[in-house]
Chains A and B, each alone.
Chain A
Amino acid sequence: MDHTCNNVVINICPPPPKAQSKNLSSRHDKPFRAMTTLKTIYVERAIAGIMLCLGLIILFLAVKRGDVKAVEGIIEKYIPIFH
């Protein structure tokens, strides 16, 4: 972005140095991709949060239903089968 002031061109946004642009050479690291990547991360976090909440609800139901005891019973019954 260039601004002209008294016929002098002032470059207020110089291009990044060569070494830095080399660091940003990956497909995912390019600036125009950065926002998409960030949105993807937020979506992933949201999905992880939903899964965590779902897991906690199911755990609550499992404890309430006595699922752990039922699993214990069925496992104790079936362990000798695999011996």
Chain B
Amino acid sequence: MVDSEIRRGVGVSKLKYRPFRRAVQLASLITLNILILNYTPLGLRPSRFYLPIPVLVGISADISATPGLLDVLQVTLSNSMVPLSAIAATLIIGSILGRALCGWVCPIGFIQDLASTLRGKAVKVGRATDSSGKKMKYIILLAVMGVVGVVGLARSRGVGSSYIEAMGAMADGPFIPFSPDNILFGQIPRMIVEGKIPLSRDYIGLFMVQGVILLLLFWGGASVARFWCRYLCPLGGLMSAFARFSLIGLRRHPTKCLKCPNCERACIMGVKILGRPWRKLNDLDCIMCMECADACPQGAIKPTL
């Protein structure tokens, strides 16, 4: 077999993960927003369940089947309550799957994948810009947790009530009004149903910021693969702390691998796969989307435990 044939993977048959992942993402989008059936004349009345899962699902969305983990953490911590179920879900899912739910289940991730598929061509981000941009999500996470921590502490001590009152809804969840899941699945459907846009003086500023966030989600997601997940998602930042130690990871077969950069080019999170250990790859940003495995002509990349 000549070298060019080896590089193209002639004679190597392998499973493609992308169609399967798209099917799982679509099923998750429907399941996580199943309460939309309550607004249809079908007569089905599913009810909300309270299992905080580490994906972006809007707590304020009337159609969401369950609140997202980040929203639960914000609301409970700001009310001086230790969210044991949310901590347990973070530890259990994080230690087994890492950030795999970002790649396979998160509806916001699915929307970004669709946006980048429709656009077709991605903008290349420089390594230094990418590396410093990825720190943004940790800063957002720290800021959000800092605010809810201070509010929770103030409430438990019974101090600063005037400040908390002035913060309004932001005191109970500083990131909730800016979270794209709450805007897309909560605010926009409500505006459609109620037939009014909140253009009053009190809400115009927030409304404009939400517009910018949606623009970042769609335009950013179409230009740079998983723009929101890479740079801005605080939940992604939280789960990436566990992704480093998760049981599931990627294995790059050392002799099959030709060190061609196909996997790195295909990686939607910009992970430098070839510079990582071949035995098990657990990167902070790896969402186990398996695009690298699909792109590998030799079938050298496989999930491993």
In the bound complex, residues from chain B placing their C-beta under 8 Å from that of A40 are 277
- Contact A78 to B75, CB < 8 A, known contacts A40-B277, A51-B245: yes
Q: Assess the A37–B279 pair: CB atoms within 8 A.
A: yes
Specify which chain A residues have a CB less than 8 angstroms from the CB of B83 in the assembled complex: 67, 71
CB of B50 closer than 8 Å to a CB of A: yes
Please report the C-alpha to C-alpha distance between residue A55 and residue B79 in the assembled complex, in whole angstroms: 22
Cross-chain contact B72 with A75 (CB below 8 angstroms): yes
List chain A residues, Cβ under 8 A from B86.
71
- B259 touching A25, Cβ below 8 Å: yes
Judge whether B60 is part of the interface by a CB distance below 8 angstroms. yes
Q: When the two chains form the complex, which single residue of B60, B76, B186, B257 contacts A23, counting CB atoms closer than 8 Å? A: B257
Q: A83 touching B259 by the CB < 8 A rule?
A: no
Instruction: Tell me if B224 is interfacial: C-beta within 8 Å of chain A.
Output: no
Interface string of B67-92 (1 = CB under 8 A from A): 10000100110010101111111111
State the CA gap A57–B95 with chains docked (Å). 14
Q: How far is the CB of A65 from chain B (nearest CB, A)?
A: 7
> Which residues 171-221 of B sit at the A interface, judged by CB distance below 8 A?
172-173, 176-177, 182, 186, 190
Contacts A23-B257, A48-B247, A52-B91; A58 near B84 (Cβ below 8 A): yes
Our pick among A70, A72, A83 for the contact of B190 (Cβ within 8 Å) is A83
Tell me if A79 and B91 are in contact (CB < 8 A): no
Alpha-carbon distance A61/B259, docked complex (angstroms): 48
> With A and B bound together, what is the CA distance between A45 and B96 in angstroms?
10
- Bound-complex Cα distance A44 to B283 (A): 12
A residues with a Cβ closer than 8 A to B are: 20, 22-29, 37-38, 40-41, 44-45, 47-49, 51-52, 54-56, 58-59, 61-62, 65, 67-68, 70-72, 74-75, 78-79, 81-83
Are the CB atoms of A26 and B59 closer together than 8 Å?
no
Of the listed residues B88, B89, B90, B282, the one surrounded by the most CB atoms of chain A closer than 10 A to its CB is: B88
Of A22, A26, A47, which contacts B274 at CB under 8 A? Answer: A26
- Cβ–Cβ contact B95 & A55, under 8 A: yes
Chain B interface extent, by class = 35 or more
Q: How far is the CB of A42 from chain B (nearest CB, A)?
A: 10
Closest 6 CB pairs of A and B: A55-B91, A82-B60, A62-B84, A59-B88, A55-B92, A51-B95
Separation of A65 and B84 alpha carbons in the complex (Å): 9
User: Judging by beta carbons under 8 Å apart, are B52 and A83 in contact?
Assistant: no
B122 within 8 A of A: no
Q: Is the CB of A61 within 8 A of B84?
A: yes
A20 neighbours in B (Cβ, 8 Å): 255
B52: A residues at CB distance < 8 A? 71
> A79–B67 Cα gap in the complex (Å)?
10
Q: What is the distance, in angstroms, from B126's C-beta to the closest C-beta of chain A?
A: 22
Provide the residues of chain A in CB contact with B275, threshold 8 Å: 26-28
